[in-house]
């Protein structure tokens, strides 16, 4: 769990570092504002999930993590179109976002299957 908390945190930090490097214009500002919010949210909601009051609360928080990671990768895809010079870094962040998304989805599925067994 600690490693995953750190990965979510690093994803948010690395995304913010990328955003700082990008030149400013109207489109990028709009995309980056959304991206910074969606990249921070998975870490905060994952931490909240770990403190969940019930299994249902845990799953609900993880669903938010799932949605925000998906949104983050979408905005990274959009930014890639306008920032080909940052392709390596954007692609790396998209890969990490997709890996975190896969882990999150699997955690939701595993938790739900345990509920059915109980």
pLDDT digits (tens, 9 = 90+) for 34-61: 999 999 999 999 999 999 899 999 999 9
pLDDT of residue 1: 60
Phi and psi at residue 100, to the nearest 5°: -65, -40
Phi and psi at residue 23, to the nearest 5°: -65, 150
Give the Cβ contact number of residue 116 at 10 Å. 6
Check whether 16 has a pLDDT greater than 90: yes
The CATH number assigned to the domain holding 37 equals: 1.20.1440.60
pLDDT of residue 36: 96
Rounded Cα–Cα distance for residues 39 and 1 (Å): 19
Q: How many domains does the chain have?
A: 1
Query: Which pTM value belongs to this model?
Result: 0.91
Name the residue range of residue 81's domain: 2-117
Answer with the residue of higher pLDDT: 14 or 2: 14
């Amino acid at each position: 769990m600690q490693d995953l908390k750190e990965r979510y945190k690093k994803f948010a930090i690395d995304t913010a570092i990328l955003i700082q490097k990008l030149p400013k214009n109207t489109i990028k500002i709009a995309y980056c504002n959304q991206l910074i919010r969606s990249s921070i949210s998975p870490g905060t909601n994952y931490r909240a999930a770990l403190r969940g009051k019930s299994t249902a609360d845990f799953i609900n928080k993880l669903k938010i993590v799932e949605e925000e990671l998906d949104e983050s990768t979408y905005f990274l895809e959009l930014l890639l179109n306008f920032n080909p010079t940052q392709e390596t870094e954007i692609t790396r962040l998209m890969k990490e976002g997709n890996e975190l998304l896969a882990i999150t989805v699997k955690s939701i599925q595993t938790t739900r299957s345990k509920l059915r067994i109980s």
